[in-house]
Chains A and B, each alone.
Chain A
């Protein structure tokens, strides 16, 4: 297993190396790369090049982590499985690059499907568990349905224009109603990006996938949904209306995602919902940029694009850290259920440290890359609030309120993930016997965190380096004061980190001579305290879920104590978090469809007379339909 994946890792590195060189060249020179392979033309403009770098970084991090992660894999795997996993990994990496360098819908569709199918095969890794199997199959089904959008677009564009290159798409959108082509495409991209209400595959799939794959999917793959929205949004001359739609969807996604993240007790699902949130923020910012373009507000547009670009980078790195930490925890404790964890910081300090740093980052707190990536979003939001049109201004208010609410919710979600999962005392035996994995497992995590830290203290530098990308997106140059503001923020973050260090040293000096006693946590003098006297993942989320009950779906199985029941017998309390949309919309829909189709199955009687009858029925039906001029 390990050897096979090492080969995959090397191949992935080679792909990364080979593709990064032209990508960097594109970014530096600003000249688009283009090549004809077979009869198909591939083009990488600066945005594609940026995405290529994101994909390469994410894939390499995942591959490096995967090598070690799979070495600890407890299950025996057959060669087929190993080869399948390795091949799929490389295929996913290649397909993602293919998606961003495609310049016509056919190849886009091809790579898009290849991306879906290879990620599906990767998710299948743990398919011996029924849950993972179900999740994987749901995933491929939803991806397949989503991809139909591209197919539809191909059908319309190719029949009308005789070809499907992006420039023809542009022409088609210009000469027809834009939404005819944009809507189906948007469905496909939104499905992949996990935008509300098409997000329901995401949490289950991320939870089911092996951790290096979850990190890759969450950090990179779903970003390609956003890539598609941006690419085709720009192709079709974005309007304020399109921007508003994206903004609203982004807001809904961000809030829905993070609220549901709080409700999860599966660590990886929590992280997955947080990815939904972050995709929401990215798309919201994209919407903001389109709006800004529509009302010709270059400053806002650039700020919004900066937010998008930085957030994509930040999220890719931090989610890798977090998912890989979750993977370490899963391998260490064999559970993802936060209710079974706790106290990990004593047994797995190396992993928990990373989880902590990742948590700070993903909650967008000062001192982390998340803060600098949300900062331009705030800039665009507040600046939009200051626009003259009332409706535009209100959109600004919405986006700012979303950002701050999402930030607040993220704090709850990640204090839950870390505080309940890693701190306190162990709730079951599992965390007590856990130990940190080999340091090489944490190497890619530190690498990713290092990158994130670099973004945190030097966002201005990144934006300068990516000015080509921003120019490519907006066709405008970066305003100088935006750069200065970002520089200041970066310096401020550095100062913050340094001051924390200084104060910590001072504190150590001040308390060096002071006596320190150790004792149990204050429990009001009760001597038999145990781990039950701790907030659990479920109860920690309870208040938030109660406030946010319209958008969450947590079913409680618990028999209430009757008021007249003075001496209740011991009973159990269980909750199950479901996805509102999956549970209330998609599942009933799917069940309905299945029921209808199953009802039709009565026609298979096994009776030969009826078989023959069908031939005549068919003929009669066609005749009738012909006479009715339906056919």
Chain B
């Protein structure tokens, strides 16, 4: 099995499945193919877990971070694929429409696998660019004006971002050209970084960060990400908010870990803090006026990405990774539940909701627990990671940043709670036509959402030491 499951095998398999998906014209075939892809994904994850830190292709190697993110990807990918089928069923999409969607999904996920596995900065860049294209198909899935605009913008801005990142890579190679490190693989860079010119390094990091920010969904290029999450189907938004963000993180974090071996580490930290703080600020600003539930969730992702960057910047890497993972689960659950919300109210608007507790009791539970997770309060794991991040920050020389961040987090908490609670409790107008109630099947559909949220609690507080230890290893990229 191990030998069989080489990344090449995976990519080949993925390509075949994608191809079959496009031509398969029956629902059962689609489901079968998707399931086989998930199995493929799972076995790759298992394979990489067993062969940690082994260079497999020239530039593909799995470290604990890769495996962690792959696990998340597998779980969320499975849920999203399942949800995608349901989504198509509810919308009554044609099978070809679904086929395209599924193929794009497979492609998208596979590209992210590539991002996670790559050990070469150029390769990372390439996989990310490729993920943009597949993601565009998924965002475009609804085929309405809104999604056209969002897709178009997404592709355009992503390209710009990629271009900026490419400039960053160029600057890096300029920095590296003066030294022996011609190879842009992470190992080579780490070995040679300390000999490079700090100024060039700084510039290249800036460009890389700015370029990849579009994937990570942080300042400065977060806007388009928000628009995309708003326009995409809810299960795709869930993926954009979780695994794609993880991919962005993976890229930025690996670069960061390379550069942090040099003298510019304090500068790197402060830039990340700045970037994180600005993200949280932006989230606070927009979340205050947001009227659209989906955008609310998207802005919340912006906030959490900011927290992750702050955790990285203040040195709480474990907290950063934990937060990233937990957020992936929590936010996915929320986005999936948003799908139910939309089905019940036929609207993205928060105002359209109300008395969700009676309309969809099971879904209301997801919203409540999800809200708690996103607000990082006990007994949610996010509480632990956020607390670790902030207390670590308080222990650094930059402790006063916390005085800016904490009030902003409070504002976000207030705004989110207010909106979600109003969806849950505010009595609906009797004149409203959106008085429909959830069906039993919808209640059953919340089971995966609860499962995701259960992971958030479990990982936070009852995780076995082995898992915690593995996460610890994953968060420390350079010994």
Contacts and interface: CB of A to CB of B under 8 A. Distances in A.
Contact of A80 (B275, B357, B413): B357
A137 interface: yes
B136 to A, nearest CB: 15
Given A155-B402, A601-B286, A128 B395 contact: no
A158 B413 contact: no
B391 A145 contact: no
Nearest to A110: B378
Interface stretch (A187-195, A292-300, A550-558, A609-617): A609-617
Contacts of A29: none
A501 B424 CA distance: 54
B140 interface: no
A403 to B, nearest CB: 36
B387 A601 contact: no
Given A128-B425, A133-B426, A611-B157, A148 B271 contact: no
Given A79-B361, A601-B286, A156 B395 contact: yes
Given A614-B221, A614-B223, A137 B421 contact: yes
Contacts, number: 169
A594 interface: yes
Nearest to B218: A618
Contacts of A151: 387, 390-391, 394, 406
A84 interface: yes
B470 interface: no
B164 A124 contact: no
Given A137-B418, A148-B406, A601-B286, A80 B394 contact: no
A611 B378 contact: no
Interface in B232-269: 267
A120 B3 CA distance: 54
B394 A608 contact: no
Interface string B374-416: 0101110001000100111111100100100011001101100
A32 interface: no
B206 A140 contact: no
A152 B402 contact: yes
A622 B271 contact: yes
Q: Give chain A's interface secondary structure class.
A: helix
A626 interface: yes
B435 interface: no
A601 B282 CA distance: 8
Given A152-B402, A604-B223, A615 B274 contact: no
Contact of B372 (A117, A152, A603): A117
A498 interface: no
B52 interface: no
A80 B364 contact: yes
Contact of B361 (A81, A124, A608): A81
Contact of B267 (A84, A121, A594, A631): A631
B83 interface: no
Contacts of A158: 391, 395
Contact of B288 (A78, A110, A144, A601): A601
A140 B413 contact: yes
A625 B161 CA distance: 22
A615 B221 contact: yes
B161 to A, nearest CB: 7
Contact of A622 (B274, B361, B368): B274
A338 B357 CA distance: 32
Contacts of A447: none
Contacts of A594: 288, 411
A113 interface: yes
A619 B207 contact: yes
B383 A618 contact: no
B369 to A, nearest CB: 9
B288 A608 contact: no
A78 B394 contact: no
Contacts of B424: 124, 127
Contacts of A626: 202, 267
Given A597-B285, A626-B202, A133 B425 contact: yes
B288 A619 contact: no
A191 to B, nearest CB: 12
A575 B223 CA distance: 47
A608 B160 CA distance: 11
A598 B288 contact: yes
Interface in A575-622: 593-594, 597-598, 600-601, 603-604, 608, 611-612, 614-619, 622
B117 interface: no
B118 to A, nearest CB: 23
A154 interface: yes
Given A597-B285, A598-B288, A78 B358 contact: yes
A117 B378 contact: yes
B224 interface: yes
B365 interface: yes
A114 B378 CA distance: 5
B19 interface: no
A152 B285 contact: no
Nearest to B226: A604
B220 A615 contact: yes
Nearest to B227: A606
Contacts of B379: 114
Interface in B51-72: none
Interface in A67-114: 76-81, 83-84, 95, 106, 109-111, 113-114
Contacts of B402: 152, 155
B289 interface: yes
B270 interface: yes
Interface string A331-352: 0000000000000000000000
Nearest to B224: A611
A155 B393 contact: yes
Nearest to A132: B425
Given A110-B378, A130-B426, A151-B391, A84 B202 contact: no
Interface in B192-245: 202-203, 206-207, 210-211, 213, 219-221, 223-224
A623 interface: yes
B423 to A, nearest CB: 11
A382 to B, nearest CB: 44
B383 A110 contact: yes
Contact of A619 (B206, B361, B391, B418): B206
B113 interface: no
A294 B392 CA distance: 35
Interface in A374-418: none
A615 B210 contact: yes
Interface in A435-486: none
B320 interface: no
Given A128-B426, A155-B399, 12 more contacts: A111-B378, A114-B378, A128-B355, A133-B426, A154-B391, A159-B391, A608-B224, A614-B219, A618-B210, A622-B271, A623-B206, A626-B202
21 contacts: A78-B361, A83-B365, A141-B413, A148-B406, A148-B410, A151-B391, A155-B395, A156-B395, A158-B391, A159-B395, A593-B411, A598-B288, A601-B289, A608-B156, A611-B157, A612-B221, A614-B221, A618-B275, A619-B210, A623-B203, A625-B274
Across the A-B interface, give the 9 residue pairs with the lowest CB-CB distance, nearest first: A155-B394, A159-B395, A618-B220, A127-B425, A78-B361, A80-B361, A114-B378, A614-B220, A631-B270
